[in-house]
Chain A
């Protein structure tokens, strides 16, 4: 910070220079941007930087058009009109925003002009569209942003070798994985606070790691391997992490960013924003940036109209179907692709360009999805020509673009693709029209990707008119669950792609009749599944063991809106977010349905477990561990016991202390009460004091004469006889 100039100094200087300081309107003085005359602003340094994007807006909406014809004054107006016509097509030029300087000696123009738009976006667009515009053979426009001039001018004429900074070892960003108690972390957002906790089931409560108010302006998101926590701000996105706490690791400038998406290996971050057009008839302008997460460098940007990015998706006028770019090829982050009109554009991350420099042409393609592990695309083309050309699902290998397998499907209304997490199986849910075309029914096409020639099997439910409510693959497994049925209480069926006696065929394991469930949540470790009844079912939960085909426990989290398993499959979090006004908060359950603890939080927005990277253990090693589980578990059971003993001891002490405290206090009160007893008696005119024992219940009989009536009773002599 520079020295502080006091008001007294200023007055002294003014006096010396003969300026009457009272006649100077200090607010009217404008200092050129970037120049501070050695007086540092006392604004927060950090704040200043964050506002940097806003600062540029001063000149960011001005462009400089060069290579205009040099014309005498009589042609000036004509040229100006031509230029105005070209540039007002792109955006609204400000009043007096077009200035073409003139050489004062020759009265001719200088061959360039300045154009000021209302927004930097329009200026940017104008530069993009008209740079290289051919007015005629000898006048090809060269358009630049005014701000860029400064940047280019600053490039030194002489090359100096880049300064090589000494290597500074970074902190271990995966420190949280080395927790001694092998706990998992989660982040929650409630009111204006974002908090990261350890889930501590032994203590039956969460343990705070880090808390920050106004940490994000929209939402938070973990990177897929859990290394970073991403926050979203007006100026861009940021990622946080570190060994012991959460420090800002990198910032990604992207004004008005709306959505973000990490690549599966968390090497890249895609940010998205959509901007209101200045002309209401135009569509929204969409900007996408792909950043390298570690360096913060923009690897590639995509700009265009919203239309260009909505094809095939279900996005509305102003939105796109997110994510626009889908990552393929597993954790290597090698490919990403997006769907366009009749094309699928696949890019690779070596050069961030299209593979073979051209998109994959597929007429009328409407949907595609990557295998989670291999560079294989599954794509769906609907029926064409009123059923003359059948619908098609095909698998395409990248980068070769050769078709591995294709299946034609008839009378299809819609298709949905579900990959198993290891990329071994692909299930395609096919909705078909009945013969009358009035209703639809559903079947499944099951692809075995890893087998020779990729065999396809058709699965129809026992009652093929059943509506499919939900479908889910067992993670890393060979089973899947389906909720089906039309009645309010649907059935749930479990199928396996391989059973002991029938390895090549799908077979049904069990059907659970009339369940209050509409969502399926497999444990990430497989084997267990949570059958949940959200929304209309008010949060019914059933914890089911698919190995034994039995219900382990049932529970309820009233009004639950969200359910998430922890990455290890040991715990489940159910939460009620602010979509409901009441009941906000979350519950933590064990995998077998024991409610561990409940945390109510008003205005609850998000609950996210911190993901873990995949285990380094080989399948053999894992097998060995599960074989010797008894040996390992002994140690942990002992620890558990110790902790619970310690806890109960602490709890007992705490309770005794509270009781003693209260006793002391109430004894004091009793003493005061007794001292006052005589005074109380006086207040009651000497009536016995308030001690219970002093009055005894006496039974008093009260006879009240309500009415007296005289009546003549007829006396019959005959009765005497």
Chain B
């Protein structure tokens, strides 16, 4: 089917997130205003106004009531999904990069960038049921990794936190004590900045994308490398299909390195790979710049991509997609 082009952002997209039911799609961009869309027809439902900088990441609670957004304006904000009202603002001393709700939505993990001599951090905040009781105290603060931490997500049963960033190392931390439990090694790990992490639907494995032109599938409990998917371009975004054994990988030559006039040169394609056989299935073209964000609808029947070009493209799969034989 023809993709639905959603033009609501004025700057490059940074992140996409579906709610649990798959009827809403949240998008973040460098233009300060996270936006919510109907995931079926791409109609714009509303915006969340209040940030004063690029918004890097967001997450939505299981009951689709709360939205959390992390921004370069050094705040992380909680929103009422329905009304768009700001419920709380966590203030930091440096730009916030990644946010993720825990199972049960009682905790959120937030990463902050290294800034003005401050090191990058991973912080855990308690999320109050009643927004009026919300406080800004951190339950846990982890420092250590060099450079930006581009993504941090919760491990099984909220017991661990998995992080990846500019130092190209994946790390698993104990979410109670902040102790480093495991880290990826040079041999199997990524060679360059890790740009994205995406968990499988059941949370048993996750996919990491890196500027070293590869994406890798890991066991979330043991951090053993399971699969590697090699592409021709730096990877900015990854997603795992909840329905089929497919993964989708997006990226493209860094905008500043694209010198040719031909847009094919950048390879701004979302590439589908067979998750188990590691073979390329196909590609979805369309963006006029690198793909920065990818997300699967929880029903696995559609996916959306967000690009440096400011567009969100919503793709409903054709029936043939479900009959692909490998």
Give a binary string over A656-674; 1 marks a CB under 8 Å from any B CB, 0 the rest.
0011001001100110110
Tell whether, in the assembled complex, residue A659 and residue B104 are in contact, meaning their CB atoms are under 8 Å apart.
Answer: no
Tell whether, in the assembled complex, residue A581 and residue B204 are in contact, meaning their CB atoms are under 8 Å apart.
Answer: no
Tell whether, in the assembled complex, residue B262 and residue A665 are in contact, meaning their CB atoms are under 8 Å apart.
Answer: no
Tell whether, in the assembled complex, residue A655 and residue B277 are in contact, meaning their CB atoms are under 8 Å apart.
Answer: yes
Q: Does A46 contact B (CB under 8 A)?
A: no
Tell whether, in the assembled complex, residue B203 and residue A673 are in contact, meaning their CB atoms are under 8 Å apart.
Answer: yes
Q: Does A583 contact B (CB under 8 A)?
A: yes
Tell whether, in the assembled complex, residue B204 and residue A558 are in contact, meaning their CB atoms are under 8 Å apart.
Answer: no
Give a binary string over B204-218; 1 marks a CB under 8 Å from any A CB, 0 the rest.
110000000000000
Q: What residues of chain B lie closer than 8 Å to A551, measured between beta carbons?
A: none
Q: What residues of chain B lie closer than 8 Å to A256, measured between beta carbons?
A: none
Q: What residues of chain A lie closer than 8 Å to B264, measured between beta carbons?
A: 558
Q: Which B26-70 residues sit within 8 Å CB-CB of chain A?
A: 62
Q: Does A685 contact B (CB under 8 A)?
A: yes
The residue from A583, A665, A670, A684 contacting B202, defined by CB atoms under 8 A apart: A670
Tell whether, in the assembled complex, residue B265 and residue A666 are in contact, meaning their CB atoms are under 8 Å apart.
Answer: no
Interface size class of B (residues with CB under 8 A): 20 to 34
Complex formed: what's the CA distance from A697 to B275 in Å?
Answer: 30
The residue from A559, A655, A684 contacting B62, defined by CB atoms under 8 A apart: A684
The residue from B265, B275, B326 contacting A582, defined by CB atoms under 8 A apart: B265
Tell whether, in the assembled complex, residue B265 and residue A680 are in contact, meaning their CB atoms are under 8 Å apart.
Answer: no
Q: What residues of chain A lie closer than 8 Å to B203, measured between beta carbons?
A: 673
Complex formed: what's the CA distance from A685 to B102 in Å?
Answer: 13
Tell whether, in the assembled complex, residue A683 and residue B104 are in contact, meaning their CB atoms are under 8 Å apart.
Answer: yes
Complex formed: what's the CA distance from A658 to B245 in Å?
Answer: 13
Q: What residues of chain A lie closer than 8 Å to B259, measured between beta carbons?
A: 581
Tell whether, in the assembled complex, residue B265 and residue A676 are in contact, meaning their CB atoms are under 8 Å apart.
Answer: no
Which of A538, A582, A600 has most chain B Cβ within 10 Å? A582
Q: What residues of chain B lie closer than 8 Å to A655, measured between beta carbons?
A: 277, 326
Distance from A721 Cβ to chain B, minimum over Cβ atoms (Å): 49
Q: Chain B: interface secondary structure?
A: loop
Indicate whether A658 sits within 8 Å of B265 (C-beta atoms), given known contacts A676-B156, A685-B104. no
Distance from A570 Cβ to chain B, minimum over Cβ atoms (Å): 27
Distance from A274 Cβ to chain B, minimum over Cβ atoms (Å): 33
Q: What residues of chain B lie closer than 8 Å to A685, measured between beta carbons?
A: 104
Q: Does B157 contact A (CB under 8 A)?
A: yes
Q: Does B226 contact A (CB under 8 A)?
A: yes
Q: What residues of chain B lie closer than 8 Å to A658, measured between beta carbons?
A: 276-277
Indicate whether A673 sits within 8 Å of B204 (C-beta atoms), given known contacts A680-B157, A683-B157. yes
Q: Does A679 contact B (CB under 8 A)?
A: yes
Complex formed: what's the CA distance from A676 to B264 in Å?
Answer: 47
Q: Does B253 contact A (CB under 8 A)?
A: yes
Q: What residues of chain B lie closer than 8 Å to A672, measured between beta carbons?
A: 156, 204, 221
Distance from B43 Cβ to chain A, minimum over Cβ atoms (Å): 18
Give a binary string over A565-609; 1 marks a CB under 8 Å from any B CB, 0 the rest.
000000000000000011100000000000000001000000000
Give a binary string over A337-370; 1 marks a CB under 8 Å from any B CB, 0 the rest.
0000000000000000000000000000000000
Q: What residues of chain A lie closer than 8 Å to B284, measured between beta carbons?
A: none
Q: Does B232 contact A (CB under 8 A)?
A: yes
Q: What residues of chain A lie closer than 8 Å to B221, measured between beta carbons?
A: 672
Q: Does B141 contact A (CB under 8 A)?
A: no
Indicate whether A581 sits within 8 Å of B257 (C-beta atoms), given known contacts A673-B204, A684-B104. yes
Q: What residues of chain A lie closer than 8 Å to B104, measured between beta carbons?
A: 680, 683-685
Q: Does B103 contact A (CB under 8 A)?
A: yes
Q: Does B302 contact A (CB under 8 A)?
A: no
Tell whether, in the assembled complex, residue B276 and residue A659 are in contact, meaning their CB atoms are under 8 Å apart.
Answer: yes
Q: What residues of chain A lie closer than 8 Å to B245, measured between beta carbons?
A: 662
Instruction: Find the B residue at minimum CB distance from A581.
Output: B257
Tell whether, in the assembled complex, residue B103 and residue A684 are in contact, meaning their CB atoms are under 8 Å apart.
Answer: yes
Q: Does B184 contact A (CB under 8 A)?
A: no
Tell whether, in the assembled complex, residue A666 and residue B253 are in contact, meaning their CB atoms are under 8 Å apart.
Answer: no
Q: Does B86 contact A (CB under 8 A)?
A: no
Count the A-B residue pairs with Cβ separation under 8 angstroms: how many?
55
Complex formed: what's the CA distance from A507 to B84 in Å?
Answer: 79
Tell whether, in the assembled complex, residue A600 and residue B232 are in contact, meaning their CB atoms are under 8 Å apart.
Answer: yes
Q: What residues of chain A lie closer than 8 Å to B260, measured between beta carbons?
A: 559
Q: What residues of chain A lie closer than 8 Å to B275, measured between beta carbons?
A: 662
Q: Which A633-674 residues sit within 8 Å CB-CB of chain B?
A: 655, 658-659, 662, 665-666, 669-670, 672-673
Q: What residues of chain A lie closer than 8 Å to B80, measured between beta carbons?
A: none
Indicate whether A665 sits within 8 Å of B226 (C-beta atoms), given known contacts A600-B232, A684-B62. yes
Q: Does B134 contact A (CB under 8 A)?
A: no
Instruction: Find the B residue at minimum CB distance from A668.
Output: B204
Q: Which A445-500 residues sit within 8 Å CB-CB of chain B?
A: none
Distance from A531 Cβ to chain B, minimum over Cβ atoms (Å): 20
Complex formed: what's the CA distance from A459 to B274 in Å?
Answer: 59
Tell whether, in the assembled complex, residue A582 and residue B276 are in contact, meaning their CB atoms are under 8 Å apart.
Answer: no
Tell whether, in the assembled complex, residue B202 and residue A676 are in contact, meaning their CB atoms are under 8 Å apart.
Answer: no
The residue from A559, A669, A687 contacting B204, defined by CB atoms under 8 A apart: A669
Tell whether, in the assembled complex, residue B202 and residue A673 are in contact, meaning their CB atoms are under 8 Å apart.
Answer: yes
Distance from A659 Cβ to chain B, minimum over Cβ atoms (Å): 6
Q: What residues of chain B lie closer than 8 Å to A669, measured between beta carbons?
A: 202, 204-205
Q: Which B215-270 residues sit within 8 Å CB-CB of chain A?
A: 219, 221, 226, 232, 245, 253, 257, 259-260, 262, 264-265
Distance from B18 Cβ to chain A, minimum over Cβ atoms (Å): 14
Complex formed: what's the CA distance from A672 to B219 in Å?
Answer: 13
Distance from B205 Cβ to chain A, minimum over Cβ atoms (Å): 7
Complex formed: what's the CA distance from A683 to B253 in Å?
Answer: 42
Complex formed: what's the CA distance from A683 to B219 in Å?
Answer: 22
Q: What residues of chain B lie closer than 8 Å to A673, measured between beta carbons?
A: 202-204
Instruction: Find the B residue at minimum CB distance from A682.
Output: B104
Complex formed: what's the CA distance from A662 to B203 in Å?
Answer: 15
Tell whether, in the assembled complex, residue A679 and residue B157 are in contact, meaning their CB atoms are under 8 Å apart.
Answer: yes
Tell whether, in the assembled complex, residue B265 and residue A559 are in contact, meaning their CB atoms are under 8 Å apart.
Answer: yes
Complex formed: what's the CA distance from A655 to B264 in Å?
Answer: 32
Which of B245, B262, B275, B276 has most chain A Cβ within 10 Å? B276
Tell whether, in the assembled complex, residue B157 and residue A582 are in contact, meaning their CB atoms are under 8 Å apart.
Answer: no
Instruction: Find the B residue at minimum CB distance from A674.
Output: B202
Q: What residues of chain B lie closer than 8 Å to A662, measured between beta carbons?
A: 245, 275-276
By a beta-carbon cutoff of 8 Å, the part of chain A in contact with chain B is: 538, 558-559, 581-583, 600, 655, 658-659, 662, 665-666, 669-670, 672-673, 676, 679-680, 683-685, 687, 697
By a beta-carbon cutoff of 8 Å, the part of chain B in contact with chain A is: 21, 62, 102-104, 106, 156-158, 202-205, 219, 221, 226, 232, 245, 253, 257, 259-260, 262, 264-265, 275-277, 326
A-B contact pairs, 18 of them (CB 8 A): A538-B262, A581-B259, A582-B253, A582-B257, A662-B245, A662-B276, A665-B226, A669-B204, A670-B202, A670-B204, A672-B221, A676-B157, A680-B103, A683-B104, A683-B157, A684-B62, A685-B104, A697-B21
> 19 extra interchain contacts, Cβ-Cβ under 8 A, other than A581-B257, A684-B104?
A582-B265, A583-B232, A583-B265, A600-B232, A655-B326, A658-B276, A659-B276, A669-B202, A672-B156, A673-B202, A676-B157, A679-B157, A680-B103, A680-B104, A683-B103, A684-B62, A684-B103, A685-B104, A697-B21
